[in-house]
Structure 1
Amino acid sequence: MSVLVKHLGVADYVSTYEAMRAFTKERNSATPDEIWVLEHPPVFTLGLAGDASNLHSPSNQIPLVQVDRGGEITYHGPGQIVVYLLLDLKRLGIFVKELVSRIEQAVIDTLADFGIAAERHPGAPGIYISKQSGLPVEWIGAKVAALGLKVSKSCSYHGLALNVATDLEAFGRIHPCGYEGLKTVDMQTLGIKDNIDTISQKLLEQLQKQLMSHDYK
């Protein structure tokens, strides 16, 4: 069964979140999987284990939304590629831990396509900038992509967010993923000038490649 990719443009967070939950609740074993690619207007989201105090400098312009994914607090906004993965894990034959690993690898490979070396950090889902020649030391270890999932009835939703040309000041209002002092960076700051659509297409290709060994041929 193939996956349906939907490009949703700039989409309101709350309505998209509700649509993900409704899709997952209503789907059955014959429902095709979907991948939604979009951007959100500025919003902070707080995961199930989140501590609201990690939003240490609230903004009247940026709402905070409590959601049902794993993980802590993060920021979504324009210039950030958000990919929601609405997948039947039972049909794909993979567990959540492997899905997380495959998503992370897709992001690492996408960044490598643009000449950026990145890595996982054990116990801290997401992707971080590796030490590499020509890169200012201040960005080594900075987080460039966040990841958070929810699984219901063996089906996933939520997904990942890759910072392309994002408002990094907004990240300064939070302890990203609950880690005080964790730096956040975007691809533009690292010298990547490709537009968001080009990067989005490459990320989709890498995600589908990571899922191909199961069902997406």
Structure 2
Amino acid sequence: MTDLRDDIEWRITPAPVPYAEALAEMEARALAVAEGRAPELVWLLEHPAVYTGGTSADPSELRDPQFPVVQTGRGGRYTYHGPGQRIGYVVLDLNKRGRDVRQFVHGLEGWVIDTLGDLGITAFRAPGRVGIWTHLPAPLGAAPAEAKIGAIGVRVRRWVTLHGFSVNLSPNLSHFDGIVPCGLPDFAVTSAEMLGRPTDYATFDAALALRLAAFLQTHSISQQNWA
């Protein structure tokens, strides 16, 4: 499904898209955006099972990979993508939205955190740990443990953003065991399914869409905020 919202194409691809194919299409789109030949893009999709390594990936953190490993130009370390995980690729032109990568990442995190909140999942940023975090249910009297429910990884080329976020709705969490997720061995990963919240893509996508305007405006990356 494809439509345009305020000059941003909102695309949802229902069938799984191989990682290399999605990467090639996203990079071509980013170039077209930079050259003024195409509108900005938010692309929601799913990948077949794959591990991807960012620019800070350490090969020692490949524990026992069960699936192909692909090196990519995004920031960050190793992560897993697969069925049950919603991927969001965000191709925005920071030339017209403010050339502040840190603010863009902060806004991207906030967009996902707010969306999860609408689905009943209290999520948050963790100092020193990029990504989206939440609390696991804890036994009575015990402090809740923190677990990662979403990953953020971006790249900026000619001030156009590539890559974006992933959110665990209902993936097989054992697939993360093949790597040290995001280089953080002391923290678990979790999912909406584990927390007893909605896991279908349609519900998540609709909640995300309702927060799009706030992402562009409230988080200081809209053009009017940079006039």
Partner of 2:170: 165
1: distance between equivalents of 2:38 and 2:101?
19
- Paired letter, 2:44: V
Partner of 1:31: 38
2: distance between equivalents of 1:161 and 1:117?
17
Distance 1:166 1:208, change over 3 A: farther
2: distance between equivalents of 1:206 and 1:215?
17
1: distance between equivalents of 2:135 and 2:188?
13
How far off its partner does 1:139 sit? 6.5
Q: Which runs of 5+ in 2 are unaligned?
A: 1-5
How far off its partner does 1:31 sit? 3.1
Q: Given that residues 169 and 199 in structure 2 are in contact (C-alpha distance below 8 angstroms), is that contact kept between their aligned partners in structure 1?
A: no
1: distance between equivalents of 2:174 and 2:135?
22
Partner of 2:3: none
2: distance between equivalents of 1:209 and 1:101?
13
Partner of 2:100: 95
Q: Given that residues 119 and 130 in structure 1 are in contact (C-alpha distance below 8 angstroms), is that contact kept between their aligned partners in structure 2?
A: no
Distance 1:192 1:14, change over 3 A: same
How far off its partner does 1:123 sit? 2.3
Partner of 2:48: 41
Distance 1:172 1:123, change over 3 A: same
Q: Given that residues 119 and 127 in structure 1 are in contact (C-alpha distance below 8 angstroms), is that contact kept between their aligned partners in structure 2?
A: yes
Partner of 1:15: 21
Following superposition of structure 1 onto structure 2, how do residues 176-195 of structure 1 map, counting pairs within 5 Å? 176-195=181-200
Q: Given that residues 129 and 139 in structure 1 are in contact (C-alpha distance below 8 angstroms), is that contact kept between their aligned partners in structure 2?
A: no
Aligned to 2:75, the other structure's residue is in SS state coil
Structure 1 stretch displaced more, 19-28 or 121-130: 19-28
2: distance between equivalents of 1:139 and 1:38?
31
1: distance between equivalents of 2:198 and 2:144?
17
1: distance between equivalents of 2:28 and 2:144?
39
Structure 1 stretch displaced more, 62-71 or 107-116: 107-116
Aligned pair count? 211
How far off its partner does 1:200 sit? 1.8
Q: Given that residues 108 and 127 in structure 1 are in contact (C-alpha distance below 8 angstroms), is that contact kept between their aligned partners in structure 2?
A: yes
How far off its partner does 1:198 sit? 0.7
**Identity over the aligned pairs, expressed in percent?**
34
Return structure 1 stretches of 4+ with deviation > 3 angstroms: none
Choose the corresponding residue for 2:123, options 105, 118, 123.
118
- Provide TM-score, normalisation by structure 1: 0.90
Task: Tell whether 2:8 aligns with 1:6.
Answer: no
Structure 1 stretch displaced more, 93-102 or 138-147: 138-147
CA offset digits 1:59-105 (Å, max 9, x no partner)? 1xx10000000000000001111000001011112511111111111
2: distance between equivalents of 1:94 and 1:208?
19
